[in-house]
Structure 1
Amino acid sequence: MRTNVRQMNPINQTKGQKISQQRAEKIARNINAMDMDYQRSDDMNYWKFWSDLEKTLKKKISELSPSDIEVIKPMLKPEEAKYFNLI
């Protein structure tokens, strides 16, 4: 019988772990670039790209510690931060 146990990355297990500035900037850049109206597109390739990016970003955000999120917040545009429930 297989169990589906998710193993956490040891880096993310440390409470208050700070991500690197470079990593924070990359995440913020991707969040700021997000097309929040992609669901209205009738181009399936366009829709799939943005849908996949949104899922990836939400997964990455869920793995961040609260202190990591605080590092990223100042780099975000208000609309995009609200879209990802970061403010």
Structure 2
Amino acid sequence: MASANYLCAAGAAPELDQGQPLIGQLAQVRGSSLLAMARDDFSDKTTRLEARALLRVWLTGLLGAEPLASRELLQAINALSD
């Protein structure tokens, strides 16, 4: 349902948000944002923000709480090419 909100966790299908307290790593995403993501339509700012939150939940589920060092890695690669 496009007008509903959903709770998304790593490795699980989105569940309808029924107002329960958020516990653990969850992203609250609008149904319209989920539909837009399925269409590959990121023109809406809220959709982009919710996609980013969802990606963070998925990455945390896959990689754990260890921070990514991708920015530092790219800076080091760029420094080598200079």
TM-score of the two chains, using structure 1 as the length reference: 0.32
Of Structure 1 and Structure 2, which has the larger fraction of its residues in strand? 2
TM-score (norm 2): 0.34
Compare CA radii of gyration and give the structure with the larger one: 2
Structure with a larger share of its residues in helix: 1
